[in-house]
A and B are shown apart, each in its own frame.
Chain A
Amino acid sequence: MAESTSLPVTAPQFELRRRPNRALAVLLVFRANPLGAVGAIIIISLVAIAAFAPLIAPHGINEYAGIPGQGPSAKFWFGTDKFGNDIFSRVISGSRISVQVGFFSVALGVGLGLIFGAASAYLGGWTDTIMQRIVDAAIAFPQLILLLIIVRTLGPSMRNVVLVIAIAIIPSVTRIIRGAALVQKSNLYVEAVRSLGASDARIVFRHIIPNVMPVAIVLGTTLLGSAILAEAALSFLGLGIPAPNPSWGADISTSRTSFPLNVSAALFPGIAISLTVLGFNFLGDTLRDVLDPRLRGSR
């Protein structure tokens, strides 16, 4: 006991102030939520596959690799489609489209939704009312039909698909962020910075938005899965990424018109979509439990 009294008084305080070990924290979270770890592994592999697709794929995406309509074999792991393309190569290359459309559309949609939601909550009054009624209208509207109409109007292309999926994401993000921002707005710190003379824009961008970021991150992760599903659905209907790009959705659609039917041409691109979306959903659920317990059970 005598030794402990002789220790400097500041020692325990220094101990408390030490930055938490991030890597350890992540490890602990994933140990408590093994499915989240599975999700993270799936997503990391997906990004790696997309980055190195040309090195992994044994054949070109539109290269006549073998007799059309083959099932899986040692030479063609996933078989060949009705054009004689190697399905494995197409699935590998298709990851690039999914990753790009997913990340760009979610970044754009969540980014704008974040600004609209925070502004709507902070400004209040008529601005808030009008913005929220527009959000009501957009949410009441069947989303897929909206996507189809806009793509048909703008014309199918990578850029337009990213754009319409972002547009479809904005309303629900705006609504949820507004709720979270309203809670922040009533906090004393907002009043404090305002009394210090901070402008509205500064309060929204420097104080409210950083504080609702956890909600946005959770939302964004789950929405990445939905965005990739939406791209696949649009491409399946022929209004997504135009041929001959290897979109998973479009490849499933192509498989339906092959004769004789070749199940593997539909099976493997679908497994790729499902695994990807599953990965984002697993990770999203885990992030939600960790970052924002209030969102639990929604969706």
Chain B
Amino acid sequence: MTQYIIRRLALAALILWFISVAVFLLLRVGPGDPALLQQGINATPETVAAVHKELHLDDPYYVQYLRWMKGFVTLDLGRSVLTQTDVSGEFKGRLPVTVELMMFTLFWTVILGVPFGVVSAVTRNRPPDYFVRVFAVFGLSVPAFWVATLVLMIPAQQWGYAPPLNKTTSLFTEPWLNLKQFGPPSFVLALSSMAGIMRLVRSELLEVLRADYVRTARAKGLTQRLVVMRHALRNSLIPVVTVLGLLTSGLLGGSVIIESIFNLRGLGQYIFSSILQKDYAVVQSLVMFTATVAVLMNLAVDLLYGFLDPRIRYS
């Protein structure tokens, strides 16, 4: 077990190294100079060179890479080329917004995805099942940015209503305002993951309901409710846990769009505006952060898998 964890951690480190090199190079091969963007139309060759020197952008790539890596592991995320602000400070302010958005999204995904998946499986090929399945396919097909646009546009046009924009509210000091701010975006972001979970729970539960031990449970006279809830559901949820872990990276990507539309000052919006401005320092650090979270989540999920299902042996 220990050996397995060590091997997986080594693998995770290797994957993150691949990603760091890829991002570092990707940001530098294309046209567009952040120093030029920062200086705007007043840029002269001298001022651009000065900015390059100040930000060490004139060093060879490997020196820049090593400096960035050294900063990253010591939690110093560098400085924005464009605004001259410290990335770490900005990061600390924005992380809670994205974490709250993710939490709400996972909440909707689980609280709606699992029960409807169960309903779908136990009413197989009857109207409730059809309803859930059609909803699930819609959830996977409808673009989140479109739903988000309509969610903002229709109330604005009909009743002149807009959720609190332009400021970050706290769940603890102004809970109602905060829910109005985070409820709609998290629900929109959850639509596709919810649909995926419904389909997964349905197919897994149907699989488990065919197992011998379920037949035994039925044969000894247990009610349908007990058979499904206590015996079948538990085993069918194991793959669901895995998928929830794997969702993280997709949701972090989705948060880029949703945060931008709802003007939530989170990491997604920060990444997007930094990509547009080719702000190396910000993009590379934030991308490494999201990749690290995603890789560690995958590892955690694999370990949890063995804990939930002791039949699985690591080798």
Contact = CB atoms under 8 A, between A and B. Distances in A.
A133 interface: yes
Interface in B214-258: 249-250, 252-254, 256-257
A130 B133 CA distance: 39
A136 B23 CA distance: 15
Contact of A256 (B153, B203, B207, B250): B153
A149 B150 contact: no
B149 A225 contact: no
Interface in B165-215: 196, 199-200, 203-204, 207
Contact of B203 (A145, A249, A270, A297): A297
B276 A145 contact: no
A143 B30 contact: no
Chain A interface, >50% SS class: helix
B18 A249 contact: no
B301 to A, nearest CB: 12
Nearest to A267: B150
Contacts of A114: none
A134 B295 CA distance: 13
B143 A233 contact: yes
A25 interface: no
Contacts of A296: 203
B149 A261 contact: no
A267 B16 CA distance: 41
Interface string A23-40: 000000000000100000
A140 B204 contact: no
Nearest to A279: B141
A240 to B, nearest CB: 12
A149 B138 CA distance: 29
Nearest to B22: A137
B275 A149 contact: yes
Contacts of A269: 146
Contacts of A281: 137, 140-141
Interface stretch (A10-18, A88-96, A150-158, A206-214): A150-158
Contacts of A225: 141
A229 interface: yes
A255 interface: yes
B103 interface: no
A255 B148 CA distance: 13
Contact of A142 (B142, B156, B204, B250): B250
A263 B154 contact: yes
B276 A152 contact: yes
B157 interface: yes
Nearest to B278: A152
B146 A152 contact: no
Given A150-B26, A281-B137, A266 B146 contact: yes
Interface residues of A, number: 47
Most chain A CB neighbours (cut-off 10 Å) among B141, B156, B283, B287:
B141
Given A144-B257, A263-B154, A267-B150, A137 B250 contact: no
B294 interface: yes
A68 B149 CA distance: 20
B275 A143 contact: no
Most chain B CB neighbours (cut-off 10 Å) among A137, A145, A296:
A145
A141 B294 contact: yes
A133 B15 contact: yes
B287 A145 contact: yes
B65 interface: no
Contacts of B48: none
A223 B127 CA distance: 29
A217 interface: no
Contact of B15 (A35, A137, A154, A252): A137
B36 interface: no
A270 B144 CA distance: 10
Given A141-B294, A274-B138, A299 B15 contact: no
A298 to B, nearest CB: 9
Interface string B9-48: 0010011101100110011011110000000000000000
B149 A145 contact: no
Given A232-B143, A274-B146, A143 B22 contact: no
Contacts of A148: 256, 272, 275
A236 interface: yes
A233 B192 CA distance: 14
Interface string A152-172: 111100000000000000000
B254 A144 contact: yes
A145 B269 CA distance: 11
Contact of A140 (B19, B146, B276): B19
B295 A261 contact: no
A237 B272 contact: yes
A153 B283 CA distance: 13
A148 B276 CA distance: 9
8 tightest Cβ-Cβ pairs between the two chains A and B: A153-B30, A297-B203, A144-B253, A270-B146, A142-B253, A277-B141, A137-B18, A278-B141
Given A137-B16, A225-B141, 11 more contacts: A134-B18, A142-B291, A152-B278, A153-B27, A236-B143, A261-B157, A266-B146, A270-B143, A274-B142, A281-B140, A281-B141
19 contacts: A133-B15, A134-B18, A140-B291, A140-B294, A142-B253, A144-B253, A145-B290, A153-B26, A154-B30, A232-B143, A236-B143, A252-B146, A266-B150, A274-B143, A274-B146, A277-B140, A296-B203, A297-B203, A299-B199
